[in-house]
Amino acid sequence: MKISVIIPTYNSAKTIEDTIKSIADQKWPDIQVIIQDGGSTDGTRGIVERYPEAVSGWQSEPDKGIYDAMNKGIKRAAGEVVAILNSDDTWLPNTLERVASVFSCNPDVGMVSGSIEVWEDSPNGAKVILKSSLLHLHKGLTIQHPATFVRRNVYNRVGLFNTSYRIGADYDFVLRCMEANIP
C-alpha cells in the first residue's frame, strides 16, 4: 500500500528538516513525499534539496493559502492513502506501519485519525500544551492533520478542502465525510 504524504510549506526553513527526517525514519517501504511550497524565500528549498532520496516531489508556486496547497498536493498524490503533515510537525517511529495495518485490516474504513500532542518550549523545559483526539469532536475541536490519514477515493467522493475558508476547511471536510457516512 503506497502512502502519499503531503507537506504544505511556506518559509519553513527552521522546521522542515525535522519533518522530512521523521518521514525518512518510517519503516514503511512505499512512501511518496510531496512538498507543496507556497513560494518560500527563506532557504526552505535548499534544505529540501538535501533529501532527494526522501522527497518524491517538490513544487514551489504561489498559492491561496494552506488549503489550496493541500489540495494541489492531494491532486499529485499517487498513494492509496493520503496523509497531510504540516512542515513543523513530526511523526513517531512506525506511524505509517501502524496506519497501513489499520487500513489493511479494515478495507471499508476511509479515514483513520489518531491523537496528537502539541509541545511548547519554555524556560522550565518542554511541556505539553494540547492533547487532541477524535474524542474531542463533540467539543468543536477537529481532527488534526498530522494524525489523519485518508483513502484517496474519499477525496474523490466528498471533494477536496474548501479554499473559501481561511480556517476550518479541515472541520468542513470531516463534516462532509460524516454526512457521506465515510467510516
Quote the percentage of the chain above a pLDDT of 90: 75
pLDDT at 135: 54
Q: How many domains does one find in the chain?
A: 1
pLDDT at 163: 97
| Buried/exposed 132-141: b ≥16 CB within 10 Å, e otherwise | bebeebeeee
Q: Which residues of the chain have pLDDT under 70?
A: 118-142
pTM equals 0.90
The DSSP annotation for 148-165 comes to EEEEHHHHHHH-S--TT-
pLDDT tens for residues 88-107? 999 999 999 999 999 999 99
Closest CA to 34 of 55, 54, 3: 55
State the residue range of the domain holding 80. 3-179
pLDDT tens for residues 9-39? 999 999 999 999 999 999 999 999 999 999 9
CATH number at residue 125: 3.90.550.10
